[in-house]
Amino acid sequence: MSKRNKVLLGGGGLLAIVALVLASASAKREKGIEVRFEKVGQRDLVAAVTASGKVQPKKKVDVSADITGRITRLAVREGDFVRKGQFLLQIDPTIYQANLQRAEATLASAQAGLVQAQANREQAKRQLGRTKELHEQNPNLVSPEQLEQAQTAYNVAEAIANSSGHQVDQARAGVQEARDQLSKTTITAPMTGRITRLAVEEGEVAVPGTFSRETGLLLTVSDLSVIQVKVNVDETDVVRIHLADSVEVSIDAFPDTTFTGRVTKISDSAILTAASAATGSSDRAVDYEVEITLDHPPTDIRPDLSATARVVTDTRKHVLSIPIIALTVRENTPVSTENRRVDTAVTGRKKETEGVFVVVNGKAAFRAVKVGIAGDEFFEVLDGLRAGETIVAGPYQAIRDLKENTAVRPSRQTADTARRRT
């Protein structure tokens, strides 16, 4: 075979391959893009907000030290049940007993000084009275200077008596303060509950938490009869939550049990994180604290357990619905190219419309729809569709790239779903 014939034969083969590829692509286009079909039908929908948080008792008291001293006796352990007024621990009272004795001695001394000052005042008062009487009987017997001296002596004695009285009051206050300090060496339970945290041991030195709450913390008493779950809810979801909404709570420590509860408090202010407080920035995610009270908490529950709450915000019965994945957006079709330029220039962006692709005669036609609440997998349809219509429900990439009037065909997944339903 000549070289020219070989070239012609090779070129002919290449043309045949290209023709086959083009024919295959044309046939594929005519056959349509493979997508998942879904019939618009009625379903029960439940809208919910999910958030995570911690288990907390409704009421707890952190018992802190108000004085400094070594713990000489510890009468409870973590997990013990205590009643209000029950003895918990003893701080060494030696120094405070000595302070009380010193204050009582100071009070006794001040009281003795008051008695003496009062006696001197009475004596000066009598002397002033006699001097005045003699002066009135015979002015020559008592000179004006003597009368003035008697009056001055009485005034001084009265001032000293008043000062002694104030010193007694001050000493009495010192005794009360010393007695109060001594009483703080004995720590009793502020309420009935369980010791959920014991931060000290016998022999440690208790110090007041002047600058840090954790520094002075001795123990925590919690009332576990009412248990709450405090969760952080995003600002976009908190507006959908209302008081008394029903909640399903999953606690990590009880994986096989779901607990029920109600929303009992929604915070009015956002949670202030340490970072945002320090920088003053507001570009971080904003969360609000929501309190949920459990109906029947487990008996062996503990504070600070991790929990996830599913707050039911709305329900719908037998409403038209579509898969969430089916909903997409498309740019509004303007009247003219000039209108498109004007609209984009004014708004800074192209207008978009939510909708779905409805299958009509084997082709996908975009139709705007109005949706309501969102369930776990489906949107409620308020307007734009009728029951029984077929829409494109997946996959996501196909819906995102789908064009108007594109030929579509059901995927194998659609056929499998139809067989399962029958």
- 366 within some domain: yes
Are residues 107 and 41 part of one domain? no
Q: Are 160 and 134 in contact (CB under 8 A)?
A: no
With a threshold of 0.75, does the pTM exceed it? Answer: no
Are residues 102 and 161 part of one domain? yes
What are 355-411's pLDDT values in tens digits?
A: 999 999 999 999 999 999 999 899 999 999 999 999 999 898 989 999 999 999 998
Rounded average pLDDT over 167-196: 95
Phi, psi at 273, each rounded to 5°: -80, 160
What are 264-295's pLDDT values in tens digits?
A: 999 999 987 655 544 555 556 789 999 999 99
* pLDDT recorded at residue 117: 92
- 152 within some domain: yes
Instruction: Point out the domain boundary residue: 166, 184, 202.
Output: 184
- 104 within some domain: yes
Q: 397: domain range?
A: 31-45+318-421
CATH number at residue 324: 2.40.420.20
Are residues 333 and 416 part of one domain? yes
- 248 within some domain: no
Q: In terms of Cα–Cα distance, which of 4, 174, 198 is closest to 101?
A: 174
Task: Write the CA distances from 46 to 242, 294, 377, 379, integer angstroms.
Answer: 15, 21, 10, 10
Are residues 409 and 347 part of one domain? yes
Number of domains in the chain: 2
* pLDDT recorded at residue 344: 43
- 115 within some domain: yes
Instruction: Point out the domain boundary residue: 136, 166, 184.
Output: 184
pLDDT-derived band at 339, boundaries 50, 70, 90: very low
What is the overall mean pLDDT for the chain?
85
Q: How far apart are CA 321 and CA 379, in angstroms?
A: 5
Dump strand ranges (E) for 252-294. 258-270, 287-294
Are residues 136 and 41 part of one domain? no
Are residues 417 and 322 part of one domain? yes
Are residues 122 and 40 part of one domain? no
* 188-192: long-range contacts, CB 8 A cutoff, minimum separation 24: 188/85, 188/86, 188/87, 188/88, 189/82, 189/83, 189/84, 189/85, 189/86, 189/88, 189/221, 190/61, 190/63, 190/84, 190/221, 191/59, 191/61, 191/84, 191/221, 191/223, 192/82, 192/83, 192/84, 192/223
- 207 within some domain: no
Instruction: Point out the domain boundary residue: 184, 201, 228.
Output: 184
- 141 within some domain: yes
pLDDT tops 80 at residue 254: yes
What are 22-80's pLDDT values in tens digits?
A: 445 444 445 679 999 999 999 999 999 999 999 999 999 999 999 999 999 999 999 99
Q: How far apart are CA 265 and CA 169, in angstroms?
A: 49
- 144 within some domain: yes
* pLDDT recorded at residue 336: 39
